[in-house]
Amino acid sequence: MIRVLLGGNSYLKQLELTNIVKSFVDKYTDNIERFDASELDNLDTIINAVRSVSFLDSKKLVIIKNFCSFRALLENIESFIQAVAESTELILIDEKIDKRSKAYRYLTDNTDISYYNQLESNNLIKWVGSQAKTQRADINFSNAKYLVELLGPNQQLIKNELDKLILSGSAINKQLIDEMVEPRAQSRIFDLLEALFRGDSKKAWELYLDQRAQGEEPQKIIAMITWQLQQLVLAVFAKNKTTATLIKAGVSPYTARKSLEMSHSISKDDLKNFIKDLAELDLQSKTKADVGATMEVYFSGVALSRM
């Protein structure tokens, strides 16, 4: 058996891998070899692993994570797959692969590929509720939605934070979530942009300072704002303004929904100007200019244009 696990949902991939390993150990043996391809520099290491036969065990399981990061493996994927012994079960894992590549086409024809993508926002909120119920805890739709919006679409991160909330033994409400959950930078940048677009430069500045207090450098914050604006471009200029359209363009479900919400309150010309001004700010940040003061001026300019 040769399986390929692809997709950005690390939680679902890990869940599937755990099931595969458990089933293998229960049925055969604990003869398992694990590799991180991003740390490999010699293709022979994994070739030897998949083709070698154990005299003590009838089966072997070989797991290779981040396989797309190992160029030599992709370039020689056909000979690598053909080297896999009949007694070896191979699992290849990564977030994504270039679907135009020969490696992808070969894997499609010769292996069992499964995709584990991030859940859409509504499904993620429902999942939070079912997870809480499974552990005999209770979280209503509103608070589940708030938790998801704080953390973004990373299901593994949400699972970790939800477990922490449940272990507290307290009722899971907004107050408890605020006390125990650290918002992801992504959600805070969305909050920052939303504040700017409604003309609230004071709130935007507070959120910027909050990011700085958490150790984020100004250049990284600029990069995150730039990335969010680029996602917003897709929403503003899309002919069909639906989450499905943006997801098809490669946007995560969470980002697609948030971008569409903001797209209704901003014009194409305003967005172009915001991006142009931010590019100039980014250039200034690479000099000895006072980045903080420049950011504050930028926030004020955007907010004033929205009033």
Is residue 288 over pLDDT 60? no
pLDDT by residue (tens digit) across 201-246?
A: 888 888 888 878 777 777 778 888 888 888 888 888 888 888 888 8
The proportion of the chain whose per-residue pLDDT surpasses 70, expressed as a percent, equals 95
The pLDDT of 278-307, averaged and rounded, is 75
For 89, residues 6+ apart whose C-beta sits below 8 A from its C-beta are 1, 2, 24, 59, 60, 61, 62
Residue 294: count of CB within 10 angstroms of its CB: 18
User: In order of start, what are the domains of the chain with their CATH numbers?
Assistant: 2-115 (3.40.50.300), 121-180 (1.10.8.60), 185-305 (1.20.272.10)
DSSP letter string, 192-247: HHHHHHTT-HHHHHHHHHHHHHTT--HHHHHHHHHHHHHHHHHHHH-SS-SHHHHH
| CA 134 distance to own-chain centroid | 25
267 or 93, which is more confident? 93
Residue 113: pLDDT band (50, 70, 90) is very high
Of 76-80, 130-134, 301-305, where does mean pLDDT reach its minimum? 301-305
Per-chain mean pLDDT for the chain: 87
109 or 227, which is more confident? 109
Is residue 284 over pLDDT 80? no
Starting at the earlier edge strand, list the strands of the sheet with 2-6. Answer: 32-36, 60-65, 88-94, 2-6, 112-115
pLDDT by residue (tens digit) across 163-212?
A: 999 998 878 998 888 888 876 776 778 888 888 888 888 888 888 888 78
Is residue 84 over pLDDT 80? yes
- Confidence (pLDDT) at 306: 65
Is residue 119 over pLDDT 70? yes
CA distance to 109, 139, 222, 258, per residue, from 253 (Å): 29, 22, 23, 9
Is residue 294 over pLDDT 70? yes
Is residue 11 over pLDDT 60? yes
Helix (H) or strand (E) holding 167: helix 155-167
pLDDT by residue (tens digit) across 264-279?
A: 888 888 888 888 888 8
